[in-house]
Amino acid sequence: MIFDTTLRDGEQAPGFSLRVDEKLRMARQLEALGVDVIEAGFPIASEADAEAVRLIAGTLERTTVAALARCAAGDIDRAAWALEPAPRRRIHTFIATSDLHLSRKLNMSRDACIDAAVAAVTRARGYTDDVEFSAEDATRSDADFLCRVIEAVIAAGATTINLPDTVGYSTPDEIATFFADVIGRVPNADTAIFSAHCHDDLGLAVANSLAAIGAGVRQIECTINGIGERAGNASLEEVIMATHVRADRLPVTTGIDTRQLYPSSRLLTELTGEAVQANKAVVGRNAFAHEAGIHQDGMLKDRRCYEIMRPEDVGVPRTTLVLGKHSGRHAVAARCEQLGFALDRDGVDRVYRAMVAAADVRKHITDQDLVDIACAVLGVAAPSQPAPHEPVPHESGYGFGV
């Protein structure tokens, strides 16, 4: 199961705040993507958040809508009100379980923590039979105490148990051992779905999420583009494509339509104004772009030489062979042919040398740049050609451009 928290954990990160109408647009796209659960917000936090959750709850038809609530009666009641219109609703309640958080943040004893958690789950079950409980800072909690909490909340009616790596502290081997140990020790663990919510402070959120799957976790909490508090959350698109490309190592399936991954990423970028880094896996500008000559030559011969997934499978229009100072003669020759130039070997060499010289100054060469270079070097007029600024598919399915 894919639990998307872009609109809650992701949206509360600095710079990623969304208006109510924007949250609704993103929620509709997430439903088209096929996520199982959308955490739409934290209703007690503000009137706008409560309004957004209620609007999304009354709009979506297939996806479960979740609302976050602390282990407090007011939070639970507000979440229930916001979720009331949803055909499928989940109340997600949480409390910290690590001694650090209990003593320094909550000033609460372990017994009081268990009492609060059980009371919250019991109250939430009065509104819905789909209740998720999260033990904040679970991976830094005392194992014996954490197991006591989990056993108690499952007995109270929690159907999903989320054990977050709240500060992104763990490594994949630790996460795997952690979940296997908890699931093995809690007597009623088989009556709940276990979930992983990993943060990326050490750049390990996706790796930790995948390790958790191997240890028996069947729900991953993640966000589009990996946005979220501090360094962010596990990136939804990376988790999904890892399970697709490496099904031999990760034999699980999801309901995600992978062709909607790139459109989802682009919509979030549009709504937040926050760009995705160029080398971001799966959805970054350079994820399916090739400039090095050796790579371009291999791509023109067989895309599998340098791509382990097809761009169209994630909704990217096409692979791009970028012309620059690292490009090779084969790529230049192929693009010149597409632009209408009939070049012999000498012509290709001359245009290639001129293009590399220009690329040292301009960094990237557009179609119009290449037309101008070829005309100047060869002393010919520009041939009839497609619009220079548009990437044009090569016969192998690749486009050129920046």
Query: How far from 107 is each of 96, 100, 112, CA to CA, in Å?
Result: 11, 10, 10
Residue in the block written with tokens 């699980």: 252
Same domain flag for 256 and 293: no
**Looking at 241-385, which runs of residues are DSSP E strands?**
289-290, 320-321, 323-324, 364-365
Sheet of 399-400, strands arranged across: 289-290, 320-321, 399-400
pLDDT in tens, 14-50: 889 999 999 999 999 999 999 999 999 999 999 999 9
Please tell me whether residues 355 and 258 are part of one structural domain. no
Q: Tell whether 360 is covered by a domain.
A: yes
154 lies in the same domain as 63: yes
Single residue among 272, 307, 339 that ends a domain in this structure: 272
Do 382 and 301 fall into the same domain? yes
| Tens-place pLDDT, residues 266-318 | 999 999 999 999 899 999 988 887 777 777 778 778 878 888 899 999 999 87
Coil vs helix vs strand at 129: coil
Instruction: Specify whether 255 is located in the same domain as 310.
Output: no
pLDDT at 397: 43
Same domain? For 88 and 214 the reply is: yes
Model confidence at 392: pLDDT above 70? no
**Does residue 279 fall inside a structural domain?**
no
304 and 176, same structural domain? no
89 is a domain residue: yes
Judge whether 278 lies within some domain.
no
Write out pLDDT tens, residues 78-92: 999 999 999 999 999
* Overall number of domains in the chain: 2
CB atoms closer than 10 angstroms to residue 136: 21
Whether residue 363 is contained in a domain is answered as yes
- Same-domain pairing of 238 and 311: no
Residues 196-236 pLDDT 10s: 999 999 999 999 999 999 999 999 999 999 999 999 999 99
Q: How far apart are CA 402 and CA 390, in angstroms?
A: 10
Look up the domain containing 318 and give its range. 289-400
Q: Where are the beta strands (DSSP E) in 128-257?
A: 131-136, 160-162, 193-197, 219-222
**Residue 283 within any structural domain of the chain:** no
Is residue 64 a contact partner of residue 90, using CB atoms and an 8 Å limit?
Answer: yes
